[in-house]
């Protein structure tokens, strides 16, 4: 367990700056997920935290102690690598206990810790096997075991699930969640998969181009994305974005005219001027549609309908914009049908031209009722 403070660090490889100044504090015991698209710097940041990469400026503090130049073991770091990096010539027992072996832990104690880790990870029968005799999931558990036995202050995981097939991934996600409950470490987890982030994290750090876009709990990010990037990154399928213009402003409410058609009334958190270009964001699961046209609902034609059994996805196109609607209540439609779409104002997000959120967003815990007509 340890508090990690990253204080104004920068990182460049030669002349290429990958992380222009970044600061972040991860409190003791938190499960923090670094998420973002490829090349955003999340893996680099993890390696910097681990001590595998030096920083160009700034400080790394573990429990208040400056560890900027320190080696991984000094920082109390253990790491699960993306490729697991198991020592191929050592059996599982030795792989798991290797860190302790190097630290000159007495053999009896080492054997005990290895045994307990193996039990927790259901590897007890595999201790004498070599990595090449194990399946992908088993190898991953060995990698976790190796990190676990060192009782680290900081437990780092670098895209641990990306090498597994889909079915295995779900199972391992649950295992990691279980681990999170058992271990006392501060855990830092890197992934490009926002579903993993949403399900595992206490807090998520969304990164893009070496910068932090937003830090918050999963639901924070879901209900109150700070900008277009976070809004489009979190949530699957992604949020719909529609172009619009501010028609009128009254106190802290704006009437927005969408190129798509309807006009909506949105509560603001920042001032805007009439005539400004804005972007409206609404999640597919918050739009509702019905076959019978209600008087003030907006009518459109379903271009494509995907039936998944549990969900129905309806794709609508208007000009050069398109919309995806997700319905989980069993409503049906066919391609070519005319449907009435309604956008609940409380579920709409508004972003200004540079991409920052200017609407109030939903308070957390707010139940969005898609049946509510637009105001």
Partner 1 sequence: MVSAMRAEVMQAGQAGAIAGRRAGSGASRLYLFTLPATLLFVVFVAYPILWVAGQSFYTRSGSGETSFAGFANYAVVLGEPTFWIVVRNMALWGLITIPVQMLIGGLLAYFIERHTIVFRGFFRTMFFLPVVTSVSVISLVWVQIYAPYYGIAQEYLKHVGIVMATSPIGDPKTAIYALIVVNIWQWTGFSMLMYIAGIANLPGEVLDAARVDGARGWRLAVHVIVPMLAPATKSLLLLGVIGTLQTFPIVHLMTGGGPNRASEVFGTFIFKQSFVLGDTGSGAALSVIVLIIALALSLLQIVALGARLTPAGKERQ
Partner 2 sequence: MTPPARLRVRSVVIHAVLFVVLAIWMVPQVYMLSIGLRTPAQAFDASLFTWPVTFDNFAMVVRDNPLGGIFLNSLIVTVATVAIVVAVSSLFAFACAVLRLKGSLLLYTTLLTTLMVPLASMVLPLAILLKNFGWVNTYIGLILPYAALGVPFAMVILKSFMEDAPRELFEAARVDGCNAWQTYWHVALPLVRPALVFVTIWQFIVTWNEFFLALIVLTRSEMKTLTIIPMQYSGLYMANPGALFAVLTLIALPLILLYVLVQRAFVRGLLAGAVKG
- The binding site for partner 2 (CB under 8 A) comprises 50, 52, 71-73, 77-79, 81-83, 85-90, 98-99, 102-103, 146, 150
Span from 49-57, 131-139, 233-241, 357-365 in contact with partner 1 (CB under 8 A):
49-57
**Closest distance between partner 2 and the C-beta of residue 104, in Å?**
10
Closer residue to partner 2, CB minimum distance, 149 or 346: 149
Q: Which is nearer to partner 2, 98 or 260 (CB)?
A: 98
* Burial class for 334, CB neighbours closer than 10 Å (0-12, 13-18, 19+): exposed
Q: Which is nearer to partner 1, 17 or 217 (CB)?
A: 17
Q: Are 171 and 135 in contact (CB under 8 A)?
A: no
Q: Is residue 53 part of the contact set for partner 1 (CB under 8 A)?
A: yes
> For the chain, what is the total number of helices (H) and then of strands (E)?
9, 20
Nearer to partner 2 (CB atom), residue 98 or residue 298: 98
**Under a CB-based contact definition with an 8 Å cutoff, are residues 233 and 280 in contact?**
no
CB of 1 to partner 1, least distance (A): 25
Is residue 266 within 8 A of residue 245, CB to CB? The reply is no
| 87 lies in the binding site for partner 1 (CB under 8 A) | no
Of 56, 65, 66, 69, which lies in the binding site for partner 1, with binding defined by CB under 8 A? 69
Please name every residue paired with 322 in a beta bridge, in sequence order, or none if there are none. 317
Q: Judged by CB under 8 A, which stretch of 52-60, 145-153, 194-202, 230-238 contacts partner 1?
A: 52-60
> Which of 71, 306 has the CB closer to partner 2?
71
Q: How do strand 154-158 and strand 77-80 relate by DSSP bridges? A: parallel
Return the structure tokens found at 8. Answer: 């104004």
Cβ–Cβ under 8 Å, residues 47 and 190: no
104 C-beta neighbours (distance < 10 Å), count:
8
Q: Are 32 and 188 in contact (CB under 8 A)?
A: yes
Instruction: List residues near partner 1 by CB under 8 A.
Output: 13-14, 16, 18, 38-39, 44, 47, 52-54, 69, 71
């Amino acid at each position: 367990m340890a508090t990690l403070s990253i204080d104004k660090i920068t990182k460049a490889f030669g002349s290429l700056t990958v992380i222009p100044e970044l600061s972040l504090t991860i409190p003791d015991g938190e499960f923090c997920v670094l998420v973002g698209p490829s090349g955003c710097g999340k893996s680099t940041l993890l390696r910097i935290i681990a001590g595998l990469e030096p920083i160009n400026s700034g400080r790394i503090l573990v429990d208040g102690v400056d560890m900027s130049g320190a080696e991984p073991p000094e920082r109390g770091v253990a790491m699960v690598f993306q490729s697991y990096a198991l020592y191929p010539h050592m059996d599982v027992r030795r792989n798991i206990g290797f860190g302790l072996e190097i630290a000159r832990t007495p053999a009896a104690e080492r054997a005990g810790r290895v045994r307990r880790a193996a039990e927790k990870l259901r590897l007890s029968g595999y201790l004498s096997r070599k990595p090449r005799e194990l399946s992908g999931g088993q190898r991953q558990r060995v990698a976790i075991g190796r990190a676990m036995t060192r009782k680290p202050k900081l437990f780092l995981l670098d895209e641990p699930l990306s090498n597994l097939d889909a079915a295995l991934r779900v199972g391992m996600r649950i295992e990691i969640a279980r681990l999170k409950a058992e271990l006392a470490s501060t855990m830092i987890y890197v992934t490009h998969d926002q579903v993993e982030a949403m399900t595992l994290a206490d807090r998520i750090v969304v990164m893009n181009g070496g910068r932090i876009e937003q830090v918050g709990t999963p639901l924070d990010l879901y209900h109150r994305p700070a900008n277009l990037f976070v809004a489009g990154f979190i949530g699957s399928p992604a949020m719909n974005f529609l172009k619009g213009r501010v028609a009128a402003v009254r106190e802290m409410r704006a009437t927005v005219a969408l190129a798509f058609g309807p006009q909506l009334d949105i509560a603001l958190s920042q001032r805007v001027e009439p005539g400004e270009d804005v972007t409206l964001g609404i999640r597919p699961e918050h739009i509702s549609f019905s076959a019978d046209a209600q008087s003030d609902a907006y009518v459109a034609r379903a271009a494509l309908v995907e039936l998944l059994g549990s969900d129905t996805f309806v794709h609508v196109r208007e000009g050069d914009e398109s919309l995806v609607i997700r319905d989980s209540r069993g409503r049906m439609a066919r391609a070519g049908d005319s449907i009435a779409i309604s956008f609940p104002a409380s579920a709409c997000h508004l972003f200004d031209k540079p991409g920052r959120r200017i609407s109030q967003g939903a308070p957390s815990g707010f139940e969005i009722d898609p049946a509510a007509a637009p105001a």
